[in-house]
């Protein structure tokens, strides 16, 4: 009997220590600004806008509308001119596709806001124009991202995107006033010379998976110092993982999380080992040819619900084979401006889905958590505390059994 009591005491003490080692999170899941997972149900979103779209000037951060070198000649001759004037057919297609996605999301009960440049004053419209001319408000993901209750205002490599921050601030200002749980954190603004070795953090590089945050590092978007900065501002409640990628600019070009244990990735684009939390996931592989057209940049509306560019039929088939509800939408004209569906939206709020995110108490879970606890016990001196807990539990069980 005594041996049995000691075993029970040991197990209870082990679990008590384990729960004590879990970081304490202070989050407001009812806030109007809250994102816990990439796949939680989309409630409120900021979409890109086709308004005031112009031909950009050449800058080292951008070769063409879609970072395509063939557009460089036009950028030199038509710089600053409205796309509507330079290419009316393209602009018409962009407008139709952008508005169609807004309608599609509204039909799914999503509250839609737009990155509307009409709110900018004259001085803000001229911001960074002396470094790079042009406007592109189609891809808000480059400029900000939401992690928990944290709004991260980014520091991007493309000067013409820097004016986006003034629109984002207008969207978030009334929300931060009414809800103190929202933290608005602005990254340091780069020098106007935009040197290669400085802090850059771009929202297209960031994926949120609970307290795990994955950040892409290609050398063309988020910098190593940007990864470190993000970890420092999020604090110990989050673990930021850097993922090395090659051949693509951003992480959302090569990886999208669809639901727990299912993701879409690009073959050969991820150069580093997958972060441990993603190690045992099932991956749908996208070919490099499709990925260059932003096939793997997907809009996740909810658990197993996505919007995918209609051009990529094989990807749509693979997703449906895994019981994912896919809505195919035209997006080729918007993609010509340099981004995918994942770049076209920023979730302000996702509704946490308790059922799909519930922890499965399986062997893998216990082994993983057990190893974490054992590692921490080895690192820190918990021996005396453990002994005291075991003794306390043993005495309590003995008292109860003797009654």
What is the Cα–Cα distance from 110 to 345, expressed in whole angstroms? 12
Answer yes or no: are the C-beta atoms of 143 and 164 closer than 8 Å: yes
CB contact set of 40 (below 8 Å; sequence gap of 6+): 302, 303, 350, 351, 352, 353, 357
What is the Cα–Cα distance from 48 to 116, expressed in whole angstroms? 8
How high is the pLDDT of residue 169?
97
How high is the pLDDT of residue 72?
74
User: What is the pairing mode between strands 282-286 and 262-266?
Assistant: parallel
Which residue carries 């879609």 as its tokens? 66
Nearest of 301, 294, 287 to residue 341 by alpha carbon: 294
| Cα 54 from chain centre | 27
Q: Taking the model in full, what pTM does it have? A: 0.83
Answer yes or no: are the C-beta atoms of 302 and 39 closer than 8 Å: yes
What is the Cα–Cα distance from 100 to 353, expressed in whole angstroms? 27
As averages over each run of 10 residues, the pLDDT of the chain (403 residues) reads 51 47 68 97 98 87 57 80 93 97 98 97 94 93 97 94 95 95 96 92 97 95 96 97 95 96 94 94 96 96 96 98 98 94 98 73 47 52 58 62 58
What is the Cα–Cα distance from 344 to 170, expressed in whole angstroms? 19
Beta bridge partners of 266: 286
* Helix segments in 52-198, DSSP class H: 72-77, 83-86, 88-107, 122-125, 164-178
Mapping DSSP to helix (H, G, I), strand (E, B) and coil, where does residue 371 land?
helix
Answer yes or no: are the C-beta atoms of 166 and 124 closer than 8 Å: yes
């Amino acid at each position: 009997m005594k041996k049995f009591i000691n075993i029970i005491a040991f197990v209870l003490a082990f679990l008590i220590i384990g729960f004590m080692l879990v970081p304490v999170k202070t989050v407001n899941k009812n806030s109007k600004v809250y994102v816990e997972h990439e796949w939680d149900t989309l409630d409120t979103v900021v979409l890109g806008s086709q308004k005031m779209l112009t031909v950009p000037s050449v800058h080292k951060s951008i070769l063409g509308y879609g970072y395509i070198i063939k557009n460089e000649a036009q950028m030199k001759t038509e710089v600053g001119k409205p796309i509507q004037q330079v290419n009316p057919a393209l602009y018409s297609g962009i407008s139709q596709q952008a508005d169609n996605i807004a309608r599609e999301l509204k039909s799914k009960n999503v509250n839609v806001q737009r990155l509307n440049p009409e709110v900018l004053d004259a001085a803000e419209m001229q911001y960074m124009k002396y470094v790079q001319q042009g406007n592109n408000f189609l891809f808000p993901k480059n400029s900000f991202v939401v992690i928990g209750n944290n709004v991260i205002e980014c520091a991007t490599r493309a000067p013409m995107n820097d004016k986006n921050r003034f629109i984002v601030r207008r969207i978030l200002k009334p929300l931060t006033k009414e809800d103190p749980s929202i933290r608005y954190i602005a990254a340091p603004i780069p020098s106007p010379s935009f040197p290669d070795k400085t802090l850059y953090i771009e929202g297209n590089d960031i994926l949120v998976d609970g307290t795990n945050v994955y950040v892409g590092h290609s050398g063309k978007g988020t910098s190593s110092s940007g990864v470190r900065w993000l970890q420092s501002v999020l604090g110990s409640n989050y673990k930021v993982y850097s993922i090395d990628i090659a051949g693509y600019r951003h992480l959302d070009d090569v990886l999208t999380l669809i639901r727990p244990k299912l993701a879409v990735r690009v073959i050969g684009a991820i150069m580093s080992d997958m972060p441990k939390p993603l190690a045992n996931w099932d991956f749908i592989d996208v070919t490099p040819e499709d990925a260059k057209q932003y096939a793997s940049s997907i809009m996740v509306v909810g658990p197993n619900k996505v919007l995918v560019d209609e051009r990529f039929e094989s990807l749509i088939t693979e997703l449906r084979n895994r019981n994912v509800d896919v809505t195919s939408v035209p997006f080729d004209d918007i993609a010509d401006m340099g981004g995918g569906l994942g770049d076209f939206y920023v979730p302000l709020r996702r509704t946490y889905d308790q059922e799909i995110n519930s922890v499965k108490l399986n062997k893998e879970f216990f082994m993983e958590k057990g190893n974490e606890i054992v590692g921490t016990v080895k690192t820190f001196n918990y021996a005396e505390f453990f002994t005291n807990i075991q003794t306390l539990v043993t005495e309590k069980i003995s008292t109860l059994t003797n009654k």
